[in-house]
Structure 1
Amino acid sequence: MRITLKNLAEKSGLSIGAISRALRDDPLIAKKTREKIRALAEEMNYIPDNLGRGLQSRHSRLIGLLISNIHDSFYAQTIQGIGEMAAAHGYGIVIGITGDDPQKEIHQLKLFLEKRVDGIILSNYQPQTVIYLDVLRRQLPLAVCDFETFSPEVPDVMVDDVGAMRMLTAHLLGLGHVRLAFCFLINSNAKKRYEAAACEAQKTGIAPPICCSNQNDLESALHSDASPTAVLGYSDFHAVQVKHVAERHGLIVPTQLSITGFDNMDFAAWPEFALTTIDQPKIELGSRAVELIFEQINSKKQMMPVRFPPRLVVRNSTVPPQSSNQNQNPVRI
């Protein structure tokens, strides 16, 4: 049976109002009485009705978090940052898992509204959901974490993707690679990273990387006469996929094909991968997203986007191209 204020009142002989004020540490209630009531509440395992409090204060002390999955360790670390920062402010988080399904996204967003969350953090969203989100942003604070925002009025927090991808591309060009590929073009963030890599390559007179949307595209590129000597992976997971495809084709990584990742997941440092990658401060990204929510709650003013500077981590997955490949003519523009 759930213990209520009424049960505490009956046990103590005080009114429900006095019990409520004592638990809120109201100075109008004598200190000894407050201590007595708190001890009684603990003895009877009383749990405050935060929903009821929320209806009175118009704050549920909950933040909704919309993510596509929870098996990705990147999300696990981001959630840790979100949870720790929310708890530091006396808040909890409610997680909605969408599987990148637009209908599930809208369903979860509606559930967040039913739970009267005080703000929502989006770690991803589908283009079909943007119309609904644009309406939602007028009702409560929103923030986007590790993904580019859908509206200039909704702040986002992420690593400088453009600077990071240009840094990776410059690293490969500096090693002597002149034929690059990008894997895989799976969403708008991937498109932005590809465009940054293309811009960096063109700056030095090299043709843009071959853009691969899937493994079939990569296999075709590896079979071509001007096959790439280095591949830029959209993420560390995609870099591992590239490695598996390359090895199926008999290529030796990194001697015959250098590979870069993005995120610096724990496995990126394992000897079998040793990925050159961009380190993302995952916990800090989550923490900052929560701060953006609270800044909106407290100030009601538009927040500016937050960009963390990229950090290049060089490991053994990138080396200069073989001399036989270096002598082949690069594709120039």
Structure 2
Amino acid sequence: MAVGVKDVAAAAGVSVGTVSNVLNQPEKVAPATVEKVQRVIDELGFVRNDAARQLRAGRSRSVGLIVLDIGNPFFAQVARGAEARAQEAGLSVLMGSSDESTERESRYLDLFREQRVNGVLVTPVDEGRAAYARLAAAGVPVVLLDRDAPDGVLGSVSVDDVEGGHLAAAHLLELGRRALAFVGGPDSLRQVADRLEGARRAVRGFADARLEVVGVPALSVLSGREAGERIAARSREDWPDAIFCANDLVAVGILQAFALTGAVRVPEDIALIGYDDIDFAAAAVVPLTSVRQPAWQMGYTAVDMLLRDPDDVQVERRVRYRPELAVRTSTTG
């Protein structure tokens, strides 16, 4: 027979209401009582009926998180930050990866709404989709993550990617590199478009500089390796003298291609810079210069924003961090 709240209350010598508070609002109960009730819960093997509780409360004890690619260490750090803030609030994080597919993203949005989550964090595949606003209108708070929402309809936590792209290209130009290449894609991703725009702005300030765009189908190591192989296969006079990658995974793939072919030396022949500053960047065979984003802090801040009263005018609904440059051997030797 399943153990219920009444059984826990009787064994702990407290009221059913006290047990309920320990489960849902432990800050209202004396620490010694919380410890006693939790000990009884463990001894009896009590498991709360969370589905029933959700129906009564109208909300679950979770938030939803949808990222573009859970295999990207940048998003793993974002998720850790989100989990840290959620845990402080007694919540859990339900996570899904859209894999840059609007169809997959829609399925997760529907699932999270069915689960009555407290709110949804999403790195959108298409920021113009009305699905986010509809979800917010239905009473489920939505915060765009790693994407800016300047209209104020939705909350957002992002990094200025145009500035980040400018930082990367300006660094290469300051080193005397003039034949730059940008490797990234797909173009539909706002992050890719903004980073490219920032690089173009930097190049415009140098009459003798040029920027080639090398498109890739995904921001992955495999896509980077294939792009690197194509570049290495060119005649030497057609090589760029510097490459700015839309993220670190692409840059790591290019490093791998150059190492496998043995034809291109980094940074002697081609300087290389990535974006995100994931752990792999500093640990690469040639430590990778990268544009750093505060990934953990972004996840933490986004959950914090979800938990704030949206009608409170004192609550910042649009947080935009500035990127930083982490300079390593792949550009400076």
TM-score by length of 1: 0.81
- Percent identity of equivalent pairs: 26
Q: Which runs of 5+ in 2 are unaligned?
A: 217-225
1:273 equivalenced with 2:279 (yes/no):
no
Q: Kindly tell me: are residues 129 and 47 of structure 1, through their superposed partners in 2, closer, same or farther at Cα, counting changes over 3 Å?
A: farther
Q: Distance in 1 between matches of 2:246 and 2:33?
A: 61
* 1:284-323: CA deviation from partner (whole Å, max 9, x where unpaired): 1110111111124573888432122222111111148xxx
Q: Secondary structure at the match of 2:329?
A: coil
Q: Secondary structure of the equivalent of 1:3?
A: coil
- Provide the secondary structure at the position in 2 that maps to 1:181: strand
* 1:109 partner SS: helix
CA distance in 2, matches of 1:34, 1:314: 50
Q: Is the 8 A contact 1:102 1:129 kept in 2?
A: no
Residue 219 (structure 2) aligns with: none
Instruction: Answer whether contact 2:266 2:286 (CA < 8 A) is retained.
Output: no
Q: Aligned partners of 2:282, 2:267: CA distance in 1, in Å?
A: 15
Report if aligned partners of 2:143, 2:306 keep a CA contact under 8 Å in 1.
yes
What residue is the counterpart of 1:137 in the other structure?
136
TM-superposed CA distance for 1:212, in Å, is 1.0
Q: Can you list the C-alpha shifts for 1:101-149, whole angstroms capped at 9, x where unaligned?
A: 3222111111101110010011x33239823223222221111222344
Separation of aligned partners in 1, 2:256 and 2:228:
14
- CA positional deviation for 1:161: 1.3
User: What is the Cα deviation at residue 72 of structure 1?
Assistant: 2.4
The one-character-per-residue Cα deviations of 1:152-204 (angstroms, maximum 9, x if unpaired) are 42222122212222111111111111111100132221111101100111023
Contact 1:141–1:296, Cα closer than 8 Å, also in 2:
no
Amino acid at match of 1:5: V
For the residue of structure 2 that corresponds to 1:260, the secondary structure is strand
> Which of residues 211, 214, 230 in structure 1 aligns to 2:213?
211
Residue 197 of structure 2 aligns to a residue whose secondary structure is: helix
- Secondary structure of 1:299 counterpart: coil
Match of 2:48 in 1: 48
Change in CA separation of 1:41 and 1:148 when aligned onto 2, cut-off 3 Å: same
Q: Residues 78 and 38 from structure 1, CA distance in 2 versus in 1: closer, same or farther, beyond 3 angstroms? A: closer
How far 1:19 moved relative to its partner?
A: 1.5
In structure 2, what is the Cα distance between the partners aligned to 1:145 and 1:128? 11
Go from structure 1 to structure 2 and tell me whether the alpha carbon gap of 1:302 and 1:137 turns closer, same or farther (over 3 Å shift).
farther
CA separation of 1:81 and 1:33: change in aligned 2, threshold 3 A: closer
Q: How does 1:275-290 map onto structure 2 within 5 Å?
A: 275-290=288-303
Cα separation, 1, equivalents of 2:175 and 2:13: 80
Partner of 1:194: 196
Q: Identify if the C-alpha distance between structure 1 residues 297 and 53 changes in structure 2 by more than 3 Å, giving closer, same or farther.
A: farther
Find the residue that maps to 1:63 and give its secondary structure: strand
Q: In the superposition, relative to structure 1, how do residues 13 and 257 fare at CA in structure 2: closer, same or farther (>3 Å)?
A: closer
Instruction: Give the 3-state SS of the residue equivalent to 2:286 in structure 1.
Output: coil
Q: Which range moves more in the overlay, 270-279 or 142-151? A: 142-151
Partner of 2:306: 293
Root mean square deviation of aligned Cα: 3.5
* In 1, Cα distance between equivalents of 2:73 and 2:300: 16
Report the alpha carbon displacement of residue 20 of structure 1 after superposing the two structures with TM. 3.1
Residues 32-87 of structure 1: CA distance to partner in whole angstroms, max 9, x if unpaired?
Answer: 99998666444323233344333333332210011244332222221111111101
- Can you give the 5+ residue segments of structure 1 that lack an aligned partner in the other structure? 321-333
1:233, CA displacement in angstroms? 0.7
2: CA distance between counterparts of 1:23 and 1:153?
36
Which segment drifts farther, 278-287 or 295-304?
295-304
2:322 aligned with 1:309 = yes
Partner of 1:323: none
Aligned to 2:181: 181
Number of aligned residue pairs: give it.
314
Change (3 A) 1:72 1:102: same
Distance change in 2, residues 1:208/1:119 (3 Å): farther
Partner Cα separation in structure 2 for residue 19 and residue 285 of structure 1: 39
Q: Quick one: distance in 2 between partners of 1:132 and 1:152?
A: 16
Query: Larger Cα Rg: Structure 1 or Structure 2?
Result: 1
Matched, 1:233 2:232: no
Counterpart in the other structure of 1:156: 156
Equivalence map 1:100-119=2 (5 Å): 100-119=100-119
2:68, 2:125 within 8 Å by CA — same for their partners in 1? no
Cα distance in 1, alignment partners of residues 184 and 154 from structure 2: 27
Are 1:70 and 2:73 an aligned pair? no
Q: In structure 2, what is the equivalent of residue 328 of structure 1?
A: none
Distance across 2 between alignment mates of 1:242 and 1:227? 13
Higher mean C-alpha displacement, 164-173 vs 296-305: 296-305
